[in-house]
Amino acid sequence: MAAERILVTGGAGFIGSFLVDRLVEQGEKVTILDCLDPQVHPAGKPDYLNPHAEFIQGNVLDRNLLAQILKRVDVVYHLASAVGVGQSQYQIEHYVSANTQATAVLLDVLVNDRPAVRKVVVAASMSSYGEGLYEAPSNGVRLRPGLRPEAQLARHDWEPRHPVSGEVLHPIPTPESEVFQSNSIYAMTKAHQEEMTLLIGKTYSIPSVATRFFNVFGPRQSLSNPYTGVAAIFMSRLKNNQPPVVYEDGNQTRDFISVHDVARALAMIKDNSAVDYQALNVGTGKPIEIAEVARTIARVCDKQIEPDIQMKFRKGDVRHCYADITRIQTLLGWNPQVKYEEGIRELVAWSEKVEAEDHFEQASAELRAKGLL
């Protein structure tokens, strides 16, 4: 079987670079298009980039460049994106441009220039759900409570409650059938990317898939970017002998999945028609408390540093959200393979060779100045 020509936008990034490695290993001809955003790549082109992939520094917003590249592409993985929930609340134009508008440019080229692209996979996000799915313990009714009122959070009453009875709700896995309740510009733009791609895909019979990533962690995630994933932020703090800062009481949960499992899922999608025109949760289905993440990283680092649990809240934060992965298991035959602590050990081992500038306080000051903290 002849090698396929595959474009990975954002292919120099955290998830993209692991996908590129996997595709090259499978014998595909891979092109990376990446703008090398200084916030993510302060040192420029990363040294981990696969030498067997073609690298083009450029932006998906550059229609002419994108149109030239797409003339020689069979499959597109659109992973290029501005990432960061809090930052998106005040860099609104940037996030809408980098996420929504860039995806619009990609789809416009596919529709109007009609390159022979046979499949498009777009990176979506669990953040678009907002709060996850819950169950009322008294009667088993399932509901989505939405954001907790600020007056409730000010009382340090952290758990979502039933809007009528007031009973504390129990979190359960969130399936793809749940509607989006985006609480940030970032979450909205990720929903735009997904919904536009699936709509245009269906309209023009271009097989398309949206992968809703949960909390992806692992090597190559920027340790100097204070707007990246929480595991990398905690890692950066500990490397600088500072306590990881945890909001609320630390018992809020997320679904942490290894970047290796994510890259494997992405690589499997291109040759599986059962997932065409679908959105897929990509997580583990297991909730982990945020304070426990901080303690696990400290333990693996052999540092006696407890997290700084601040009992403060950030506007728009959700309490619990973890994946129902039945759909991806059934349609793709995929299951996560990397155990959580095994993934943390790999992250810590990799971090020992990497520079980590701790910009957390600067990022927190920005959030406070914008009234978000």
**Domains of the chain, each with CATH number or no CATH:** 5-132+174-367 (3.40.50.720), 133-173 (no CATH)
Tokens of 194: 């997904």
In single-letter form, the type of residue at position 46 comes to P
Asked whether 104 and 190 are in contact (CB, 8 A), the reply is: no
pLDDT, position 28: 98
CA 311 – CA 345 distance, rounded (Å): 28
Burial class (CB in 10 A: 0-12, 13-18, 19+), 166: exposed
**Sequence-separated (6 or more) residues with CB below 8 Å from residue 2:** none
Task: Read off φ and ψ for residue 268, nearest 5 degrees.
Answer: -70, -30
Closest-CA residue to 26 (of 259, 216, 271, 212): 271
What is the mean pLDDT, run by run of 10 residues, along the chain of 373 residues?
Answer: 91 98 98 95 94 98 98 98 92 97 98 97 98 97 95 97 96 98 97 98 98 96 76 90 95 98 98 98 98 96 95 94 98 98 95 72 68 64
Residue 192, CA distances (Å) to 205, 325, 353 in order: 19, 22, 37
Among the listed residues 313, 306, 338, the one whose alpha carbon sits nearest the alpha carbon of residue 86: 313
Q: What is the structure's pLDDT at 229?
A: 78
Tokens 């009992």, residue located: 311
pTM of the model: 0.95
Residue 359, pLDDT score: 54
pLDDT of res. 1: 65
pLDDT of residue 3: 87
Instruction: Give, as one character, the DSSP assignment of residue 235.
Output: H
The residue type of 138 is S
